[in-house]
Amino acid sequence: MVARLLVLALLLLLPGQGAAREEVVLGLSEDRISINTSFTGSQILIYGAVKREAPPEDAPLGVIITVEGPDQRLTVRRKTRQFGIWINTDAVVVDSAPSFYAVATTGPLEDILTSTEDLRRKISINRAIRAVGAPDTIRDAERFTEAIIRIRERANLYQQREGRVDLRQETLFSTAISMPSELVEGVYDVRIFLTRKGEVISEHDSSIDVRKVGLERWLFALAHARPFFYGLMSLAVAILAGWGASEAFRKLRNW
pLDDT tens column, 186-232: 999 999 999 999 999 999 999 999 987 755 555 555 566 667 665 66
Of 23-27, 128-132, 148-152, 238-242, the one with minimum mean pLDDT is 238-242
The number of angstroms, rounded, from the C-alpha of 107 to the middle of its chain's C-alpha atoms is 19
Q: What ranges do the domains of the chain cover?
A: 2-209, 213-255
Looking at CATH, the fold of the domain delimited by 2-209 is given as Immunoglobulin-like (2.60.40)
The 10 Å CB-count burial string (b at 16+, else e) for 63-99 is bbbbbbbebeebebeeeeeeeeeeeeebebebeebbb
- Residue 189, classified by CB atoms within 10 Å of its CB into exposed (0-12), middle (13-18) or buried (19+), is middle
Q: What angle do CA 215, 218, 220 make, to 5 degrees?
A: 110
What is the pTM (predicted TM-score) of this model? 0.75
pLDDT tens column, 57-113: 778 999 999 999 999 998 888 877 777 778 767 778 888 899 999 999 999 999 999
- Cβ atoms within 10 A of the Cβ of 48, count? 24
Query: Which residue would you say has higher pLDDT here, 199 or 242?
Result: 199
